[in-house]
């Protein structure tokens, strides 16, 4: 797969600038040698009562 010239060598980007690029997420990840895999994750649940949760409302 050919490398898409997403970033110019003389260009300096901040983290926020990557969200402004007009490329698919997969193309940006491939540029850096990564790929995206979506899957469901089952997180542990707790029955423990947490104090001060009412303060969050």
DSSP class of residue 54?
G
Rounded Cα–Cα distance for residues 34 and 16 (Å): 19
pLDDT grade, residue 31 (50/70/90)?
confident
Residue 13 and residue 7 in contact, taking contact as beta carbons nearer than 8 Å: yes
Tell me what the mean pLDDT of segment 35-40 comes to: 92
Decide if pLDDT at 2 tops 70: no
Torsion sign across C-alpha atoms 45, 48, 51, 55: positive
Tell me what the mean pLDDT of segment 3-14 comes to: 80
């Amino acid at each position: 797969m050919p490398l898409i010239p997403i970033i110019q060598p003389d260009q300096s980007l901040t983290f926020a600038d990557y969200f402004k690029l007009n490329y698919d997420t997969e193309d940006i990840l491939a540029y850096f040698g990564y790929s995206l895999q979506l899957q469901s994750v089952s997180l542990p649940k707790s029955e423990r009562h947490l104090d001060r949760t009412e303060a969050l409302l």
